[in-house]
Structure 1
Amino acid sequence: MSINLQKGQKVDLTKDNPNFSNIVVGLGWDPVRENKGLFGGLFGGSAPQIDCDASVIMLEDGDRFIRKEDLIYFGNLKGEGINHTGDNLTGDGDGDDEQIIVKLNEVPQRIKKLVFVVNIYDCIKRKQHFGMIQNAFIRIVDKSNGKEFLKYNLSDNYNEKTALIAGEIYRYNGEWKFAAIGEGTRDASLSDLVRKYI
């Protein structure tokens, strides 16, 4: 049975599940539909084309980003123990919009935390922000059986925020835990987000 988390909650991933090592981190969102014109409400309106990108920042001791290879995103899909399945340009459709496969037992010992972030591509030029997004979530699925282990719905007001720190998977006393973060930021790009950890 899936665990529904609230902002700030933490949950053990491997302490009671030693074989829980091959996981899918799914991130999803939907553009808010705009009702324009006389018949807008009648026909469901249109949704803006918003290109959200999910990424993983791999951190060493002291929450430090050290190596450029430790940033997993649409331009670098593979890292040690991590595989990004690719970019979704619109957010249309049900379910996960982007997925990141993590083999926890293959993540190098030097990595202490995996930070899962979502940013809006070219947000300044396009004048887009997360107030134009709804139904955002991060979830973890056991890849071996396809069962959802946990889900965190990001339900805060993210108006004028251009990036989200969705959640973190981190080492604690030799085990892996997940923290529901849900922090919106005004970072204009993935590079700006990464600079927080340099």
Structure 2
Amino acid sequence: MPTEIVKKGKGVKLQSSSNAKLSKVKVGLGWEVRKGGQLDLDASVFMLGEDGKLPSDEYFVFYNNLTSPDGMVKHKGDNRTGDGEGDDEEILINLSFISPVVRELRFVVSIYDAQARRHNFGHLEDAYIRMVNLENSQEILHYDLDAEFSDDTEVEFARLVREDDGWKFLPTEKGTKIGLQGYVDKFIPEL
């Protein structure tokens, strides 16, 4: 399957009759900072139930909670500089065995301590998110995070939605300035 460049508003079916075996994927985040700068991007996954909320706190996978309760979403750890080639942060996902209480995976890229450090996506020269089929190491989706978010400190870039016949990737492309805690507050169930 060739790489598909994802455009805003266009969904891509990840599991279908033509691609039924797609199960293990990697989501990779990469970035470069403008010369002389330093910036820490963080990839996070909110595993949401039917009500659009986290079934429990442990279904929020990020640099301080590296594995979901079902073990099917694993964050490979925090890269604080973006130095080096290739993906700077990786999240491994086994779509076939994600807990049935999870109906959606929501992916957010945030800048660590952005408000205090006065950082935003405008400090980046290049940032991307991609999805790779781990069975054959082939990139199946590539999504560029571009200058459109130059004033923002977080980007909700995509959703994986469980449908009757598999998972669908939907780019959302929403920039915010609410901080990662703002997303936690949005997705945590009210008591």
Matches within 5 A, 1:111-126: 111-126=102-117
Amino acid at match of 2:45: V
What's the Cα RMSD here?
1.3
SS in 1 for 2:132: strand
Amino acid at match of 2:155: L
Percent of residue pairs bearing the same amino acid type: 36
Gaps spanning 5+ residues in structure 2: where?
Answer: none
- How much has 1:145 moved relative to structure 2? 1.2
Is 1:18 the counterpart of 2:7? The answer is no
Matches within 5 A, 1:119-158: 119-158=110-149
Matches within 5 A, 1:159-174: 159-174=150-165
Is 1:8 the counterpart of 2:9? The answer is yes
SS in 1 for 2:183: helix
- TM-score for both structures, normalised by structure 2: 0.91
How many aligned residue pairs are there? 184
Is 1:54 the counterpart of 2:43? The answer is yes
Amino acid at match of 1:171: R
Is 1:74 the counterpart of 2:63? The answer is yes
> d(CA) in 2 for partners of 1:32 and 1:182?
22
Bigger radius of gyration: 1
The 4+ residue runs of structure 1 with deviation greater than 6 A are none
- How much has 1:156 moved relative to structure 2? 4.4
- TM-score for both structures, normalised by structure 1: 0.88
Gaps spanning 5+ residues in structure 1: where?
Answer: 34-45
After superposition, the C-alpha distances for 1:46-81 in whole angstroms (9 at most, x for unaligned) are 2x1101111100000132223100000111101121
> d(CA) in 2 for partners of 1:32 and 1:7?
25
> d(CA) in 1 for partners of 2:10 and 2:115?
32
Is the deviation greater in 19-28 or in 167-176? 167-176
**Contact 1:138–1:167 (CA under 8 A) maintained in structure 2:** no
